Amino acid sequence: MSVAGTASALPRLERKGKVTQLRVVLSEWTKLRSLRSTRWSLLVGSVLAIGFPLLFATILSNRWGHLSLRERAHRHPLDVALSGVHVAQLAIGVLGVLVITGEYSTGMIRSTFIAVPKRLPVLWAKAGVYAAVTFVLMLPAVLIAFFGSQAILGNHHILEISFSHPGVARTVIGGAVYLMLIGVFSLGLGAIVRNTAGGIATFAAIMFVIPPLLNILPSSWNNAINPYLPSTAGDAIFSLTHGSDTLAPGPGLALFCGYTALSLAIAAMLLVRRDT
């Protein structure tokens, strides 16, 4: 490294500005794009969202002749096209936690809060930037997954469905919306827990561990609770049809938005109060 041998006077700064929400957004965008872990997680998320549908479409095309009629009837083209969403949510959720816990584990959060001592603008900016980035990346991903898997299946004239078929566009785009919300939801969890391992564990417990556990309960209980779990409500956002025991897409979206807002609200409350 080069060393400044003699003391240089600090050059004056001519223009002095205030902290604004927009400036904090720009700062958070710089932070997000300047980390290797972000770029990798988002790349992995996109690859998973596209790769799994293409893989499943290929397997089904090749094995279709061996499947029973009953089994064929249970396959749905959108299940194939959106299979990647279930996998990508892990990458998006983990990165959402990391966006904030990475600052706590390294001590960066102190620099951040010294620059923005009111703190809340940081949380809003992180959530906004991460939501925008996730949606902008995941929307093309689910569209590529849909049209790509349809192209493969179409070659074999199986499981064909048109994008203009009622509800299809809504469901496919719903996959990207779901991933965006899951990112913000997990970011809120990260801000509440402030610890990477704990944040990821909390996220996994809520989304993947608790739902199957409810099967142990009497089924009348399970049926009453299950539709309102974050994971089930989230699923409704990118499901074409819904049964009597799950929510319709609209209410599902509203409920999952509610969970996301709750996660952020608790995070905001704690962020302002706690020592750093």
Residues making contact with other proteins (CB under 8 A): 1-13, 15-20, 23-24, 26-28, 30-31, 34-37, 102-103, 106-118, 275-276
Cβ-based nearer residue to other proteins, 133 or 161: 133
> Closest CB to other proteins among 35 and 87?
35
Q: How far is the CB of 34 from other proteins (least distance, A)?
A: 4
What gap in Å lies between CA 56 and CA 237, rounded to an integer?
21
Judged by beta carbon, residue 38 or residue 89, the one nearer other proteins is: 38
Identify which of residues 63 and 118 has a Cβ nearer to other proteins in the complex: 118
Nearest Cα residue to 40 out of 95, 87, 78: 95
The residue among 113 and 135 lying less far from other proteins, judged by its C-beta, is 113
Report which residue type is found at 93.
Answer: G
Cα separation, 221 vs 56, whole angstroms: 34
Minimum distance between the CB of residue 87 and other proteins, rounded to whole angstroms?
A: 25
* Shortest spacing between CB 179 and other proteins, in angstroms: 23
Contact call for residues 129 and 98 (beta carbons, < 8 A): no
- CB of 273: closest distance to other proteins in angstroms? 8
- Residue among 113 and 228 whose Cβ is closer to other proteins: 113
Burial 264-275 (b: 16+ CB within 10 A, else e): beebbeebeeee
For residue 257, with 0-12 CB atoms within 10 Å meaning exposed, 13-18 middle and 19 or more buried, which class applies? middle
Do 276 and 194 form a contact (C-beta atoms < 8 A)?
no
CA-CA distance, 123 to 109, in Å (whole number)? 11
Selection from 140, 136, 131 nearest residue 96 by Cα: 131
- Of the CA atoms within 13 Å of residue 38, those in its CB half-sphere come to 20
Our CB check for other proteins shows the closer of 109 and 255 to be 109
CB of 31 to other proteins, least distance (A): 5
Amino acid at 262: L
Residues 6+ apart with CB under 8 A from 128: 25, 28
To other proteins, the closest distance from the beta carbon of 201 in angstroms equals: 22
Rounded least distance, CB 30 to other proteins, Å: 4
